[in-house]
Amino acid sequence: MHGISDVWGMAADKWDEVMAQVGDADWDKSTPCDGWTVRELVDHAMYWQGNGGSAFGAEVAEGDWASLRTNLQTKLADPASMEGVAAEFGGAPKPAVAGLITADLLVHSWDLATAIGADTTLPEVAAESTLMGLQRLPEEMLRNERMFGPAIEVGDDASAQDRLIGFVGRQP
């Protein structure tokens, strides 16, 4: 059984793998996020990871992903950090917030990899866990201009990754 800290760590590992491949010529490329460049996508992902870190009491220094990553993973592994609600996220339960920032980082790792032509393969456990968590949330919360577009149908035999990517409105 993998906990949220483990799954978030898998997403962070994938993010790091893809970010290491971003070159100077990549920053203005389009991404699968309609209207976003690589730079805008990276800024968005780091903003939400920092916001998530704040919700769990992780020390957040703007622009210091390595420190945020270490601090946030430590907080996500601490059961006491999961208690209560996150005011920064409209009073949502902290476990739900942890799931959302994990989904954000994992899906945007795929977006980033797609944009720069890197390996888009996501960790199977992380994709499956993230999809299960998202499927538990109300559709009206997920399907709006701030989150995801309409789901794209994939076959019953599709991988967890393809089901996740389709669920969040991207073409696998």
Residue 75 pLDDT > 90, yes or no? Answer: yes
Residue 146 pLDDT > 80, yes or no? Answer: no
CA separation for the pair 88, 163 (Å, rounded): 29
pLDDT tens digits along 156-166: 899 999 999 99
Average pLDDT over residues 121-140: 92
Q: How confident is the model at residue 145 (pLDDT cuts 50, 70, 90)?
A: confident
Tell me which residue of 124, 106, 130 sits closest to 13, measured CA to CA.
106
Domains and CATH numbers, the chain: 4-122 (1.20.120)
Q: How confident is the model at residue 23 (pLDDT cuts 50, 70, 90)?
A: very high
Residue 49 pLDDT > 90, yes or no? Answer: yes
The residue that leads in pLDDT, 164 or 150, is 164
CA separation for the pair 131, 61 (Å, rounded): 30
Residue 35 pLDDT > 70, yes or no? Answer: yes
Q: Given this model, what pLDDT does residue 86 score?
A: 93
Percent of the chain with pLDDT over 90: 80
Both tokens of residue 51? 């916001």
Q: Given this model, what pLDDT does residue 148 score?
A: 85
Query: CB of 4 within 8 A of CB of 78?
Result: no
